[in-house]
């Protein structure tokens, strides 16, 4: 098993990285790099941004991924439609799961907000089944909340 992530430290690093930086793409690129660098046993970390009734691929780390996800489709589409975190222990049993990287076995997707409006989602994949514990979910929701808090100050 891998060491537990210090989510408090991760949130501090994120806040330090994005403080006073008003550029959305730059901040999300750095946020995905921070996750990639900090979380053991993941194979994808990144963002999908809501545009109309579709999610469009944003900054990420990992293999090239699908670009457009209709609302309600797959794990990301479900998280966006229900505005609810999806923590999936085994993606192969999730109806409509979209396999961008065949190595993915578990996944967590967390909604992000700009003010009160849904902005999009943070998506993290792992080759390990049940990689994300309830503690991981809680820590990553804090990470996502720190980003959401800062999104109104960013352009793009």
Contact residues: ligand SME, CB under 6 A: 44, 65-66, 69, 74-77, 97-98, 100, 104, 107, 123, 125
Q: Taking the complex as a whole, how short is the minimal distance between the CB of residue 71 and ligand SME, in angstroms?
A: 11
DSSP state of 99: -
Q: How far apart are CA 79 and CA 111, in angstroms?
A: 6
| C-beta of 69 vs 140, nearer to ligand SME | 69
Q: How far apart are CA 113 and CA 116, in angstroms?
A: 6
Three-state DSSP class for residue 79: helix
Residue nearest to ligand SME (CB): 74
Q: Taking the complex as a whole, how short is the minimal distance between the CB of residue 73 and ligand SME, in angstroms?
A: 7
Q: Taking the complex as a whole, how short is the minimal distance between the CB of residue 46 and ligand SME, in angstroms?
A: 7
| C-beta of 44 vs 119, nearer to ligand SME | 44
Q: Please provide the DSSP assignment of 17-42 as one string.
A: HHTT--BHHHHHHHHHHHHHHHSSS-
């Amino acid at each position: 098993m891998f060491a537990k992530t210090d989510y408090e430290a991760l949130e501090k690093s994120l806040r330090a990285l994005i403080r006073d930086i008003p550029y959305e793409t730059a901040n999300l690129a750095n946020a995905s790099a921070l996750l990639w660098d900090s979380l053991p046993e993941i194979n994808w970390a990144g963002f999908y941004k809501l545009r109309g009734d579709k999610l469009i691929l944003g900054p990420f780390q990992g293999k090239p991924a699908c670009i457009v996800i209709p609302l309600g489709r797959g794990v990301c589409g479900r998280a966006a439609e229900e505005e609810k975190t999806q923590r999936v222990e085994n993606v192969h049993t999730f109806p409509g799961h979209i396999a961008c990287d065949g190595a993915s076995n578990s996944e967590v997707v967390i909604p992000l907000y700009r003010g009160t409006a849904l902005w999009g989602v943070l998506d993290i994949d792992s080759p390990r089944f049940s990689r994300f514990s309830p503690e991981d979910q809680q820590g990553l929701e804090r990470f996502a909340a720190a980003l959401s808090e800062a999104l109104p100050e960013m352009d793009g």
